[in-house]
């Protein structure tokens, strides 16, 4: 259990962070502070999984391919096949920490829209390749040198290297997740605006005039004596429900200046949902 504990903790922390970063960027695009939504850890994790599903599959596939390749490389080295060529190749790969970020920067200048995603990913991959190449060079040197002492370094060298590599990779992964979350959050916010007519319709009934308004919102005064409510508000769409509140958008919402409506889910108003639009009514889209 202790072996799987730390990786599970790190994975959960990454999911929570990505969910928060995505929700923060998306809320900001809609003119909200993410903190007012009152999301829980569970909300953040659920909002991460659907977006990260494909990237995690890709990472898992690349990891399996690397393990298979490493098995073949190790077998070739252990049998002494083409050791000079392997050594030369790994020595060149030790410069990946610099070469890949430089290439990523050039690619980002060619495709500016992808710059914020390419650079941190290139840094993370470059650091990992450099670390792997250094380990394999040391392994080859230990096999080829007669006394086996040429690859020996101070006892503190490799623990320190592992610590630094782990810290740098963690930082670049958080950086990449932050940038990716921003891209996803902004994209989802734009989808909400473009597909507002297709979202779940909301009708609000209130005993008193609660002054709901915005582009496309219509207020009706209910005059029937038998009615328990005095006002009805149409032209609203459900954004999401979190923290015991409904967050609504006017059907004609286009910019943050149009406002986002927050209603407490405490029975003070009656809320009806229509099926005319999409039933997917929260930020987890």
Residue spans of the chain under pLDDT 70 = 1-7, 145-154, 276-285
Contact present, 216 and 159 (Cβ < 8 Å): no
36-40, long-range: CB within 8 Å, 24+ apart, which pairs? 36/262, 37/240, 37/242, 37/243, 37/247, 38/242, 38/243, 38/244, 38/245, 39/242, 39/243, 40/242
Q: What is the pLDDT of residue 89?
A: 93
Handedness of CA 48, 49, 54, 60 (dihedral sign): positive
Question: What is the SS3 assignment for 39?
Answer: coil
Q: What is the pLDDT of residue 7?
A: 62
3-state secondary structure 94-125: CCHHHHHHHHHHHHHHHCHHHHHHHHHHHHHH
Phi, psi of 246 (to 5 degrees): -95, 130
Q: What value does the mean pLDDT of the chain take?
A: 84
Task: Pull the structure tokens for residue 170.
Answer: 């963690």
Cα(48)–Cα(55) distance, integer angstroms: 11
Q: Report H helices in 145-248.
A: 157-194
The CA distances from residue 202 to 22, 63, 238, in Å, are 25, 46, 6
Residue 271 φ/ψ region, left for φ over 0, alpha for ψ in the -120 to 50 degree band, beta for the rest: beta
Neighbours of 123 (CB within 10 A): 23
Q: What is the pLDDT of residue 120?
A: 93
5-47 pLDDT, tens digit per residue, is: 456 777 788 888 888 989 998 888 888 888 888 888 888 888 8
Cα(8)–Cα(14) distance, integer angstroms: 10
Matching residue, tokens 């962070």: 17
């Amino acid at each position: 259990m202790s072996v799987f504990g730390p990786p599970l903790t790190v994975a959960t922390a990454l999911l929570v962070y990505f969910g928060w970063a995505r929700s923060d960027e998306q809320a900001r695009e809609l003119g909200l502070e993410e903190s007012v939504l009152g999301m829980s850890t569970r909300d953040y994790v659920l909002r991460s999984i659907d977006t990260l599903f494909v990237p995690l599959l890709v990472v898992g596939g690349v990891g399996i391919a690397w393990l298979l390749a490493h098995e073949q490389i190790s077998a070739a080295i252990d049998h002494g096949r083409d050791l000079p060529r392997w050594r030369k190749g790994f020595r060149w790969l030790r410069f990946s920490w610099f070469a890949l970020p430089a290439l990523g920067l050039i690619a980002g200048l060619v495709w500016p829209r992808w710059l914020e995603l390419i650079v941190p990913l290139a840094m993370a991959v470059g650091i990992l390749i450099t670390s792997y190449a250094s380990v394999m060079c040391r392994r080859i040197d230990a096999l080829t040198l007669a006394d086996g002492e040429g690859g020996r370094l101070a006892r503190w060298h490799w623990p320190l290297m592992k610590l630094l590599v782990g810290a740098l990779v963690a930082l670049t992964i958080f950086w990449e997740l932050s940038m990716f979350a921003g891209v996803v959050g902004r994209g989802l916010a734009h989808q909400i605006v473009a597909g507002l007519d297709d979202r779940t319709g909301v009708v609000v009934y209130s005993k008193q005039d609660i002054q709901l308004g915005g582009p496309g919102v219509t207020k009706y005064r209910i005059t029937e004596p038998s009615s328990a409510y005095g006002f009805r508000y149409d032209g609203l769409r459900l954004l999401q429900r979190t923290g015991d509140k409904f967050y609504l958008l006017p059907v004609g919402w286009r910019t943050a200046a149009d406002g986002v409506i927050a209603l407490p889910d405490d029975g003070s108003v009656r809320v009806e949902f229509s099926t005319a639009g999409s039933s997917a009514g929260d930020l987890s889209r």
